Structure formats: structure tokens, C-alpha cells
Amino acid sequence: METSKLLFLSLALALAAASNAATAGAIPGHIHPLRPQLGSSAGRNIPGLNCLSWRLAVEADNIQHWTVVPKECENYVGNYMLGLQYRIDSKFVSGSAYVYAKNLTLGKDGKDVWVFDIDETSLSNLPYYAQPDNAFGAKPYNETTFTEWEKQGKAPALPATLWLYKRLLRLGFKIVFISGKTESLRAITVENMHNAGYTKWEKLILKNAEEKAEGLHAMEYKSRERTNLVKAGYRILGNMGDQWSDILGDNVGSRTFKLPNPMFYIA
Ligand SMILES: [Mg+2]
């Protein structure tokens, strides 16, 4: 069989397996049919905005530094996040990553790592963002209420990422989580990760107080942490996040994988 056919078959099998695994996990909330919202009487920002085009622009990093989801796309983004398409898109990313990962030959020194972001990558904060006060990112970010939510440690796993995580461990990868969460949240984050199914890792890197005070952009902070990994002899073979700032910068890894997130933008 030709290589391209083999690759296609592998991807199809991986996606089918991811589909089954992801269906087993449950994200709280109603599942709405996915339907594009082509503007609405409630819209106020961009008349006639096509929300599907807006989301594609977000995912392709064609629009940057946006602060809230356009009001007229609130329902569209909500339907996307709680509906089937977000699940399917996430599974496609994880399935593609797995096809790549399983064809690699790892070293025997235990230095081959896969980097995962945490929020909206390993864990899902959808139960928080689905609340009316947050409106899937159509309301401004509220650090106080988000921290309260984080302190509950109740974020479920993003099923497609958990599926990939388990398979990467079996392949022999070392897992490194790099998150902009602060060290003060380490205990609850570790508990949350364990409860969600992430039970083993090489490092779980959070921001300490000095780093938070530095006010680095996420891309700068994550670049520095990845560079430290490389200096320590690790080889970053894969890197997955929901923000472009997770996968741009220094030492991004041999391959990067971008999960969907139309709810917020972090530089
Ligand atoms: Mg994230």
C-alpha cells in the first residue's frame, strides 16, 4: 500500500478511536445543534458579521489581540463549544498528533517530551465559560471569578487531549505541562488533573510569584520554560495548546498542534 494511503488509514483509525474515547467523557451542559448565526438583532459590534468566518480567522491567527467575542457571535460560539463540532475538531487535532507521534522513534534516554498547555487544552473550563456572566467569552474576562472557579478544582478533561495523553505515555513520551496558572494554585491544580485522569508527568510547570510580577506575555513565559527544558537535555517532539502563544516563540518543538478556542485570546 502506498505511504499516503497508509497514513490516511492510520489517521482514520486514530480518529475513530478518539471518537469513541471522547464520547465516553462528558462535558456538562446542553448539547445544541451547530448552526451558524449570521448576525442577529442583538448584534451591536460588526453589522453582518459572519461568525463562522470570524472563528476561522481566530483559529488561523488572522485576527489578534481581540478581547471579547463579538456580541452577535455569542450564540454561535456557545453552540459551537457545547455542540458536536468542537468535539470533532478537537478529536481531529489529537488524532493527527497521534499519527505523527506513533511514527517517531524515541531515544532510550527518557528525554523525549510532549508539551501540553493546561486550560482549554488538558482541562476544559467550559462549565465556567458557559455561565451567563461569561457568555462563552462575549463578556469581558473576570480574573476574580475565574480564580474562584479554578480553586474549586472541578474542570473536566478535554476528552480528545486525555485520549492523546494516554497514548503518548504508552509510546514512551515524557509529559510536560506548562501553564500560566500560578504556583499558589499548584495543589488544587494537581488534584484537578488527577481527578480528570492526568496522573503522571515529568514536570508540571506553573508561574511563580516573581514570574507573575514580571508581567511577561504568555508567549515569552512559555518560550523561556521550553528553553529551560531544552537546556536540561529534553527534546520537545510535540507541543499542543489552544492559543497561538502556546506554540509560537522559542523551542516550540518539532511539531505543534493547535486546538480550537474561539472564546478568548492570550498573547
Ligand atoms: Mg490554554
Task: Give the pLDDT band (50/70/90) at residue 20.
Answer: very low
Start-end of H helices in 121-176: 126-129, 143-152, 159-171
Going from the Cα of 222 to the center of ligand 1, the distance in angstroms, rounded, reads: 11
Please return the burial class of 140, using the count of CB atoms within 10 Å of its CB with bins 0-12, 13-18 and 19+: exposed
Quick count: other Cβ atoms within 10 Å of Cβ 204?
18
Quick count: other Cβ atoms within 10 Å of Cβ 75?
20
H or E element at residue 55 = helix 51-59
Please return the burial class of 105, using the count of CB atoms within 10 Å of its CB with bins 0-12, 13-18 and 19+: exposed
Q: Which three cell numbers stand for residue 249?
A: 516563540
Residues 37-81: pLDDT tens digits?
443 333 346 778 899 999 999 999 999 999 999 999 999 999 999
**According to the model, what pLDDT value does residue 14 have?**
57
Report the mean per-residue pLDDT for the chain: 88
Going from the Cα of 120 to the center of ligand 1, the distance in angstroms, rounded, reads: 5
Going from the Cα of 119 to the center of ligand 1, the distance in angstroms, rounded, reads: 4
**According to the model, what pLDDT value does residue 22 have?**
43
pLDDT reading at 11 higher than 80: no
Q: Which three cell numbers stand for residue 84?
A: 458536536
**According to the model, what pLDDT value does residue 48 have?**
81
Going from the Cα of 2 to the center of ligand 1, the distance in angstroms, rounded, reads: 37
**According to the model, what pLDDT value does residue 32 have?**
42
Residues 236-267: pLDDT tens digits?
999 999 999 999 999 999 999 999 999 999 99
Question: Structural domains in the chain?
Answer: 3-258 (3.40.50.1000)
Residues 156-197: pLDDT tens digits?
999 999 999 999 999 999 999 999 999 999 999 999 999 999
